[in-house]
Every structure is written in C-alpha cells, then in structure tokens.
Amino acid sequence: MSTDLRPARVAPPGRIIKRELDARGWTQKDLAEIMGRPPQAVSEIVQGRKQITPETALQLAAAFGTSPELWINLETNYRLYQAREEHDKAGIARKSRLYSLVPVSELTKRAWIRDAGSVEELEQEICAFLEIDSPDQQSRLAASFRYTQAREPEVNAQVAWVRRVEHLVSAQNVGEFDRAQVQAALPDLLACAAEAEDVAQVPALLQSLGIHFVIVPHLPHTYLDGAAFTFAGRPVTALTLRHDRIDSFWFTLLHELAHIVAGHEGLYLDNLDERDGSDVEAEANQLAQDWLIDAEAFAEFVAATRPYFSRAKITAFAQSQKRHPGIVLGRLHYEGLVSYKNLRTLLVKIKPCLAAWIDTSGPV
C-alpha cells in the first residue's frame, strides 16, 4: 500500500501571517515597520506573490516569536503543493487530448491498445495504433476521409475503425487486382447469394480477385455499415455487420464493390440507413441494386403481386432470381412495399457463416 500521503489543501504562508496579525491587532504596515521592510514587500508575501526566503523567515520568527523553520516549511510545503497541482492539471490536459483522439475505453476493451498504467504509456499506445509520432500529429489514413450523413458520427471513432481495418489488411495476402476481371467475376460472386451459408465463400473469392476483405464490428457512434478504399495499391472492402441480416450483408457488400468497380477514388464510409445523395453514392446504390436483383424482373414482380406480398410469392420470385428470399424482402422493405415488421424471419443472420472473418482479437 502506498504511504505517499498528500493533503487535500495546503494553506499559503500569507494566510498564517494574516492570522498572526489579526491575533495581535497589527496591520501589514505595522509588520513592515517591525521587520524593517517596505510595506509593498510585506503585502506581496501575504498575497503569495513573493516567496519567503531564509532571511524573511528569520524576521518573521523574531516578529511573531516562532522558529524560522516554521516559515521555511510553510513556504516549501505550499510551493510543492502548487507544483503538484500544476503537474496534475498538465497530466489531465494531456490525457484529455488522448481521449479526444480515439475512444480509449472501447479500444482498450477490444484489446486494440493495451491498458496503460500511465499517461505516458497511454500516449505511446495510441500513437502506435494511429501510426503517428505525437498526439499533435494528424492521423493519415490510406485515403481521404469522406462521408455525408444526417447523424453526426464521432469522426475520431471512425478514424480508429479505419485504422484497425488497415492493420488487419496489412497482414493479408491477396491476388492481383484487375477491375475488368472483378466485373467479369460478379456472376460467380452473386451465385453465393442463393443460400445463406454460401456467404462463407465470399471472402476467399474476393481475395483471389485482389480485393482485401475484413469484418470489423462498428465502434459506438460511428454508424458504419461498410467502407471501401485503397491500401498499398489494393482495394479494400470492410464491413461491420451492424445489421446482421442477409439483405443488409449483400447490399452493403455490393455497394462497396460498386465503388471499386466504378473506380471511385477516396475513402467511402457508408451508413446505409441514411444514404448519401451524392452522385458517387447514388451510382454505387444503383449498381448494387441492379446486380442484386434484375430491375425489369423486379418491376414485373411488383406490378403482378402488389399489394399483397406473401412468403410463398416472395420465395418463388427469389428462386427465379437465384437469390435468398431475405434479399427480395429487404428490397421490398426499402421500397416501402412491405412493412418492416412483416416476414422478418426471412431475414436470416449470417454472422455464424462468417465467424472466421470477424475481428475479435487484439493487436495484429
């Protein structure tokens, strides 16, 4: 157990001097005359602006009938207390700065950084994670930051999430990337959309096409479903599985791949609950939608079926498109043709099929 006991507050020597003066009915001017010092000097000592020197301690001891050590100790203890207060404030400010860079508690809980015992160790951990030399240096990501959302995300949490994605993909080996080859391989990829368990084949297929793939659960207040960017010359598709549903998985995946196939430059952070109305996002949305379900066939299905979309009719149309029924239902939900509360058992979970690809580990 620590024996370094520290008082909650330390009285300045000037306060003790004022008490001594009050007890004797003296003024500061009286004390100045007794000590043979200018009144201004005594006033500065009482106010704490001037330190008590050994000579002053001897004079105060003679004036008040005390020991000079009393005044030296009072002065030393007070100045040490002040220095500690300033040091503690500096430590708090330094720690506050670190907490503004990343969500420290969440990163520690996920073991992305180690639980640091001191502010110095915490600073080292965060700088190493963000790959910066000091907390004053801005974290440089693989591509420019870009997002537009109705809800304001915590940008620093998004930066931390992207940095974690970068750490993971840096350890992956993928094939050569060729945009035309990826586009040609889309039918093979979409063949995995008929059965829920077939999503397990997606990561290896993407990596064979030169595309990094990772799943990093979203950090609180990031509102992320996925991201697309380039790292070390290879495209990256990263998902959060924030909504563990087959329709959400496929639309998010294809939306991110659409950024890659369309040659969109930059870092795209997507919250597909609140879709960005920009041209590139609209293009990515349209490509993902068209790849997933044939537009003409879907329009004919809706026209022939509305307003009553039964489980049997949805399943039959899904089979004709070689898609899981949950994918068709997700589209109907989004289009407002079926209430979000209806037929939700079709929206099967896919996390169990991708468990091996979900980041649950500590530092890479």
Domain ranges of the chain: 13-98, 102-130, 145-357
Alpha-carbon distance of 101 to 130, in angstroms, equals 9
In DSSP terms, which residues pair with 267 in a beta bridge? 145
Average pLDDT, the chain: 90
Q: What is the pLDDT of residue 144?
A: 46
Alpha-carbon distance of 124 to 118, in angstroms, equals 10
Average pLDDT over residues 9-18: 87
Q: What is the pLDDT of residue 145?
A: 45
Residue range 31-58, pLDDT digits in tens: 999 999 999 999 999 998 899 999 999 9
Residue range 133-182, pLDDT digits in tens: 998 887 766 554 444 444 567 889 999 999 999 999 999 999 999 999 99
Residue range 322-339, pLDDT digits in tens: 999 999 999 999 999 999
Among the residue ranges 127-141, 194-208, 232-246, 292-306, the one predicted with the least confidence is 127-141
Binned at pLDDT 50, 70 and 90, residue 1 comes out as very low
Other CB atoms closer than 10 Å to residue 160's CB: what's the count? 26
Average pLDDT over residues 244-269: 94
Q: How far is CA 332 from the centre of its chain?
A: 33
Beta-strand ranges (E) seen in 177-233 are 212-215, 226-231
Pair of tokens at residue 136: 């004053």
Q: What is the pLDDT of residue 274?
A: 72
Binned at pLDDT 50, 70 and 90, residue 262 comes out as very high
Average pLDDT over residues 27-34: 93
Binned at pLDDT 50, 70 and 90, residue 277 comes out as low
Check: CATH 1.10.260.40 for 13-98?
Answer: yes
167 within 8 A of 295, measured Cβ to Cβ? no
Q: What is the pLDDT of residue 276?
A: 65
Among the residue ranges 1-10, 65-74, 213-222, 289-298, the one predicted with the least confidence is 1-10
Alpha-carbon distance of 118 to 99, in angstroms, equals 13
Tell me the CA distances in angstroms from 78 to 14, 21, 91, one per residue in order: 10, 20, 20
Alpha-carbon distance of 55 to 201, in angstroms, equals 85
Say if residue 199's pLDDT is above 60: yes
Binned at pLDDT 50, 70 and 90, residue 89 comes out as confident
Please tell me which residue, 147 or 129, carries the higher pLDDT value. 129
DSSP 272: T
Say if residue 320's pLDDT is above 70: yes
Q: What is the pLDDT of residue 142?
A: 57
Alpha-carbon distance of 100 to 220, in angstroms, equals 15
Q: What is the pLDDT of residue 7?
A: 52
345 within 8 A of 151, measured Cβ to Cβ? no
Pair of tokens at residue 283: 């293009």
Alpha-carbon distance of 58 to 72, in angstroms, equals 9
Pair of tokens at residue 190: 């979409």
Could you give the 3-state DSSP secondary structure of residue 305? helix
Q: In what order do the strands lie in the sheet with 267-270?
A: 145-146, 267-270, 226-231, 234-239, 212-215
The pTM assigned to this predicted structure is 0.77
242 within 8 A of 257, measured Cβ to Cβ? no
Q: What is the pLDDT of residue 140?
A: 67
In DSSP terms, which residues pair with 231 in a beta bridge? 234
